[in-house]
Amino acid sequence: MTKTPTRGGAAPSVDATLARQLLTDMLLIRRFEEKAAEAYTLGKIGGFLHLYIGEEAVAVGATSALRPDDYVISAYREHGHCLAKGADPKRTMAELYGRRDGLSGGKGGSMHLFDKSVNFLGGHAIVGAHLPIAAGVGFAIKYQGGDQVVVCYFGDGAVPEGEFHESMNLTALWKLPVIFLCENNRYAMGTSVERALAQTEIWKFGQTYGIPSEHVDGMDVLAVREAVARAVARARKQKTPALLEADTYRYRGHSMRDPAGAVYRTKEEVEREKLRDPIVLFREKMLAADVFSEADVRAIEKDVNDRVDEAVAFADASPEPPGEALFTDIYKES
């Protein structure tokens, strides 16, 4: 177990294809959400919209260490996790719009993204509730004799919940291949970690349960990738759970309804945190190491912008779900 956040090496030897993929995936999430925020202000997206902007390195780094048949489950700030796992941005945006062609036909919305085709298991909006569900997925993997793993993302806000502790205990007790990945963005809505937890070093809770735990810089996509890869290797072979705490930061409010002038943190703090932006840091590091070129970056940006524009156009063009949909998918006919 390591005490200080692990970082990728100063002069990384990163495969160029992988590096381009990581940058592409992080940029896709960033641009997708910037467009979603615009659509929200235009009234095209309703309800709660929780943006992940600033935290992209966690989803992208973690997913890059997974196989397609591995499972991912998340809470309600999950657009990034869902896209990183491979969901179609067009259908994801259409879901945010509440349209027929959305991932759930418009019935789930921003907080309930599901995509069975890429083993993305939701989109859960009661804090802490999806941690035992992740344990159940791990239980099923073991029961069925598989070697997949499940990555369960949650925020620092879930840690004081009983279900966090029940899930740590059950997965350690039964040796289930579940990687609990805490995205510590320092605030549960407006309550800072210091005001919520008697033990603010979240990774240390793993020690109590005998779970291998690690603290990682969540703004460093390679560091996240390496930490998750270590946990995945253990989980596949030994069926052991892991608890990873990724230090990260959300630039936007808790949701789009959270006013910019919120009192729980200062503007200076937000601006200071933006200086360690995961996308800028990674891009500059790769450029400096000649892993990819300025021209590569321009090509990636264009590709991402085109895909996001296409997603918005697709969502705009998709019709509302038909009225009959109100009563479908309540019970499955055997």
Partner 1 sequence: MAVMTYREALNLALREEMQRDPRVFVIGEEVGLYDGAYKVTQGLLKDFGPQRVVDTPIAESGFTGVGIGAAMVGLRPVIEMMTFNFALLALDQIVNSAAKMYYMSGGQFNVPIVIRGPGGPAAQLAAQHSQSMETYFYHVPGLKVVRPTTPMDAKGLLKSSIRDDNPVIFIESETLYAVKGEVPEDPEFTIPLGKAIVRREGTDVTVIAYMGMMYRAMEAAEELEKEGISVELVDPRTLRPMDTETIIGSVRKTHRVVVVEAGAGFAGMGSEIAASVTEQAFDDLDAPVERVTGANAPMPYARNLERLKTPSKDRIAAAIRRVCNANGH
Query: Which residues are paired to 188 by β-bridges?
Result: 191
Q: Hey, what are 24's tokens?
A: 């592409």
Cβ–Cβ < 8 Å for 215, 278:
no
The CA angle 280-286-292, to the nearest 5 degrees, is 115
Q: Hey, what are 115's tokens?
A: 């995509």
Q: How far is the CB of 326 from partner 1 (least distance, A)?
A: 10
Nearest by Cα to 142 from 175, 180, 179, 181: 175
Q: Which of the ranges 15-23, 31-39, 102-110, 273-281 carries the binding residues for partner 1, by CB under 8 A?
A: 102-110
d(CA 187, CA 201): 14
Q: Counting contacts by CB under 8 A, is residue 116 touching partner 1?
A: yes
- Rule CB under 8 A: choose which of 49, 53, 58, 137 binds partner 1: 137
Binders of partner 1 among 273-332, rule CB under 8 A? 328-332
- Rule CB under 8 A: choose which of 140, 229, 281, 299 binds partner 1: 140
d(CA 242, CA 150): 11
> Which of residues 131 and 244 has its CB atom nearest to partner 1 in the complex?
131
Binding mask 222-261 for partner 1 (x = CB under 8 A): ----------------------------------------
Which amino acid is present at 33?
A: E
- Rule CB under 8 A: choose which of 44, 107, 204, 236 binds partner 1: 107
Cβ–Cβ < 8 Å for 45, 39:
yes
> Which of residues 106 and 155 has its CB atom nearest to partner 1 in the complex?
106
Cβ–Cβ < 8 Å for 224, 57:
yes
Binders of partner 1 among 181-200, rule CB under 8 A? none
- Rule CB under 8 A: choose which of 1, 173, 313, 317 binds partner 1: 173
Q: Which of the ranges 48-56, 162-170, 261-269, 307-315 carries the binding residues for partner 1, by CB under 8 A?
A: 162-170
Output DSSP code: residue 200.
-
Q: How far is the CB of 39 from partner 1 (least distance, A)?
A: 20
Nearest by Cα to 87 from 252, 298, 311, 250: 311
Binders of partner 1 among 17-46, rule CB under 8 A? none
Output DSSP code: residue 5.
P
Q: Residue 292, SS3?
A: coil
Binders of partner 1 among 57-96, rule CB under 8 A? 71, 73
| Number of chain positions touching partner 1 (CB under 8 A) | 47
Interface positions with partner 1 (CB under 8 A): 71, 73, 102-108, 112, 114-116, 121-124, 126, 129-141, 143-144, 162-163, 166-167, 169-170, 173, 328-334
